[in-house]
């Protein structure tokens, strides 16, 4: 009746033929096809999940191959969703695939996630992690969360209203800049471990059905598993449900979906220059200061010697729009958020930027005003 490929799991009493049929009928969405998504996709496809949705906007880069085991050297430059689909289809021709070669964002999150039974978060940035959580809570769908950095990994299953959500654990993205894997580094085999465990938890949820769980198969619902692979110490912590959680304490129709900006994943490699460390004369002798605020803000006051390039116009800027200048570029806005976005845009256009002024013009003007002679 069944493909012999599934024999080793059907023989498990907690799984059986019923579990296999449940898996075959299941639709799983993988958000991100990187270090976590690669092993998760491979094991889900191999185990006989019915349909996999794959969303990732990126192309394969040689720096991915250290941990993203879906791809080969020859795949460099190709779209991840396309190469992943070819690999997974070769592994299991019964698998149905749905491809989204796009960025997961507030505009598409609801329509895409609503088509699946379970979502696996394989993203590498906070903006995406919070959005995945919020949409899963809104849709009352189980979410298998995973995260890796350097030598350490985290794993959890969130499923409102049966347990807490990611925001019960972390209410908001961190205010301070947190480096991501590209900057801080990560061990490929650790990504493989956590991604494989995400596939395992996903299959446990799909085979077990709705909580509460009474059988010996107990998914990591409402619990956080932490692994420090340097020493192989691990911990499982119970995550309390926050009765005042800004997301899972609300009725679904009141949960907003928004794109978080200016956190991890954005402004990678940006140097923070403190305004207090900038002497007034230094600002325009040491750096080419670039003001990315709008006209009305520029007119109300700006750093002497700065050039004005509003953020709203940056996506259309051309190489000829910029002065040839030896000084390193220093971006600033009013409070330090828009300058991070400007950094991402300019970097994508091939410019080299030294950094931005932490907390922007507001912080820069502070010491100047303090230093002004009193009338
Ligand atoms: Zn919550």
The residues of the chain that CATH labels 3.40.250.10 are: 271-371
pLDDT in tens, 99-132: 999 889 888 999 999 999 999 999 988 889 999 9
Band (177; pLDDT cuts 50, 70, 90): low
pLDDT in tens, 47-68: 999 999 999 988 898 989 999 9
Interval 170-181 mean pLDDT: 72
pLDDT at 368: 58
pLDDT at 162: 95
Tell me how far the alpha carbon of residue 332 lies from the centroid of ligand 1, in angstroms. 35
Band (203; pLDDT cuts 50, 70, 90): very high
The catalytically annotated residue of 113, 168, 266, 333 is 333
Tell me how far the alpha carbon of residue 165 lies from the centroid of ligand 1, in angstroms. 4
The catalytically annotated residue of 168, 181, 248, 266 is 181
Tell me how far the alpha carbon of residue 65 lies from the centroid of ligand 1, in angstroms. 35
The residues of the chain that CATH labels 3.40.50.720 are: 4-254
Interval 192-211 mean pLDDT: 96
The mean of the pLDDT values for the chain is 89
Q: Say whether 181 is catalytic.
A: yes
Least confident range of 99-108, 179-188, 255-264, 273-282: 255-264
Instruction: Please say if the pLDDT value at position 258 is more than 90.
Output: no
Category of 128 on φ-ψ map: left (φ > 0), alpha (ψ -120 to 50) or beta: alpha
Among residues 100, 223, 128, the alpha carbon closest in space to that of 169 is found at: 223
pLDDT at 283: 62
Q: Supply 96's token pair.
A: 């149905």
User: How far is it, in rounded angstroms, from Cα 312 to Cα 342?
Assistant: 9
Sheet of strand 329-332: strand arrangement: 271-274, 355-358, 329-332, 288-291, 307-308
pLDDT at 235: 95
Least confident range of 148-157, 176-185, 241-250: 176-185
Tell me how far the alpha carbon of residue 163 lies from the centroid of ligand 1, in angstroms. 8
Tell me how far the alpha carbon of residue 226 lies from the centroid of ligand 1, in angstroms. 19
Tell me how far the alpha carbon of residue 128 lies from the centroid of ligand 1, in angstroms. 16
pLDDT at 371: 53
Band (318; pLDDT cuts 50, 70, 90): confident
| Residue 164: C-alpha distances to residues 124, 241, 242, 294 (Å) | 21, 4, 7, 41
Band (28; pLDDT cuts 50, 70, 90): very high
User: How far is it, in rounded angstroms, from Cα 371 to Cα 119?
Assistant: 55
Interval 130-151 mean pLDDT: 96
Give SS3 for 87: helix
pLDDT at 375: 40
Q: Specify the CATH number for 4-254; select among 3.40.50.10070, 3.40.50.11540, 3.40.50.300, 3.40.50.720.
A: 3.40.50.720
Q: Supply 77's token pair.
A: 């430059």
Q: Say whether 245 is catalytic.
A: no
pLDDT at 10: 95
pLDDT at 195: 98
Least confident range of 79-88, 201-210, 311-320: 311-320
Instruction: Please say if the pLDDT value at position 76 is more than 60.
Output: yes
Tell me how far the alpha carbon of residue 244 lies from the centroid of ligand 1, in angstroms. 8
Q: Which residue has the higher pLDDT, 53 or 279?
A: 53
Give the dihedral sign, CA 124/128/134/139.
Answer: negative
Q: Topology of 271-371 in CATH? A: Oxidized Rhodanese; domain 1 (3.40.250)
pLDDT at 345: 83
Q: Which residue has the higher pLDDT, 172 or 4?
A: 4
pLDDT at 151: 92
């Amino acid at each position: 009746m069944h493909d012999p490929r599934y024999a080793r799991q059907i023989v498990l009493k907690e799984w059986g033929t019923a579990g296999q049929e449940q898996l075959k009928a299941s639709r799983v969405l993988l958000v991100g096809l990187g270090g976590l998504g690669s092993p998760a996709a491979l094991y889900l496809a191999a185990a006989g999940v019915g349909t996999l949705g794959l969303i990732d906007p990126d192309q394969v880069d040689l720096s991915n191959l250290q941990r993203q085991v879906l791809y080969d050297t020859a795949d460099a430059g190709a779209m991840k969703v396309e190469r992943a689909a070819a690999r997974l289809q070769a592994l299991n021709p019964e698998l149905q695939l749905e491809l989204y070669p796009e960025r997961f964002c507030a505009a598409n999150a609801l329509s895409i996630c609503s088509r699946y039974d379970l979502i696996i978060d394989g993203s590498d940035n906070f903006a995406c992690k919070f959005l995945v959580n919020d949409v899963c809570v809104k849709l009352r769908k189980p979410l298998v969360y995973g995260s890796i950095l350097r030598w350490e990994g985290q794993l959890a299953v969130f499923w409102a209203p049966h347990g807490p959500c990611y925001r019960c654990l972390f209410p908001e993205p961190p205010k301070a800049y947190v480096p991501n894997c590209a900057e801080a580094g990560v061990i490929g085999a650790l990504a493989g471990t956590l991604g494989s465990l995400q596939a395992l938890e996903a299959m446990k949820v799909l085979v077990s059905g709705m909580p509460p769980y009474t059988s010996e198969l107990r998914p990591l619902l409402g619990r956080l598993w932490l692994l420090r692979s340097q020493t192989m110490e691990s911990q499982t912590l119970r995550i309390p449900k926050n009765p005042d959680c800004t997301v899972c304490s609300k009725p679904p129709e009141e949960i907003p979906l928004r794109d978080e900006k200016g956190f991890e994943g954005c402004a990678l490699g940006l140097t923070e220059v403190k305004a207090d460390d900038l002497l007034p004369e230094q600002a325009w002798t040491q750096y080419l200061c670039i003001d990315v605020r709008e006209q009305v803000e520029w007119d109300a006051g700006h750093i002497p010697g700065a050039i004005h390039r509003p953020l709203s116009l940056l996506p259309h800027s051309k190489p000829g729009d910029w002065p040839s200048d030896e000084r390193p570029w220093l971006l600033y806005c009013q409070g330090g958020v828009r300058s991070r976005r400007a950094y991402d845009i300019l970097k994508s256009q091939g410019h080299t930027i030294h950094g931005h002024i932490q907390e922007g013009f507001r912080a820069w003007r502070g010491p100047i005003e303090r230093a002004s002679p009193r009338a």
